[in-house]
Amino acid sequence: MAQALLRHRFVQEEATGLLAIGFIATLASLLGRPGPDLLFNLAAPVLGILFLVDALMGMWVDDYRATVSYALPWAGAVMLTVLGGAYVRSADSMRVVIAYFFPALCAVGAALVLKRAQIEERRARALRF
């Protein structure tokens, strides 16, 4: 039991790290020269707050961990990718990659880490019976 609790905590810390890095990267759209429009500068941080930070909170609340912490990073990744794709040609491509595509990749990585842990937990429960 103690080993499973330790593994669960490690998985949460790993996913938290990925989500935090992704959120910090969304702030890159605020740095440097202004983007093509105000939406470029504000969309990534707002999406980071709405999806990535909420997923962090949901992950630490065990009752909602099964749905919120998996669904929000995926939704945030899709939104960031779509918006980033819209700005690929009109904005600085490196800022788009750092502010939109990299956070989306971090969010997908965090969701996959959490899903892998859930699958391992179910497999371990099935082997016990």
Quick: pLDDT tens for 48-106: 888 777 777 766 665 455 666 677 888 889 999 999 999 888 888 888 898 899 999 99
Q: Encode 45-59: b = buried (16+ Cβ within 10 Å), e = exposed.
A: bebbeebbbbbbebb
First CA to last CA distance, the chain: 15
- For helices 2-26 and 102-128, angle between their N-to-C axes, nearest 10 degrees: 170
Short-list 37, 27, 53, CA closest to 107: 53
pLDDT at 78: 92
pLDDT at 101: 93
pLDDT at 66: 61
Give the integer Cα–Cα distance in Å for 82 and 103.
12
pLDDT at 7: 62
* pLDDT tens, position by position, 5-49: 556 567 777 888 888 888 888 888 787 777 788 888 888 888 888
Number of other residues whose CB lies within 10 A of the CB of residue 97: 15
Tell me whether residue 8 is exposed, middle or buried, using C-beta atoms within 10 angstroms of its C-beta: 0 to 12, 13 to 18, 19 or more.
Answer: middle
Enumerate residues 6+ apart whose C-beta is below 8 A from 70: 111, 114, 115
**Residue 60 carries which side chain, given as an amino acid letter?**
W
C-beta separation of 48 from 19 below 8 A: no
pLDDT at 3: 57
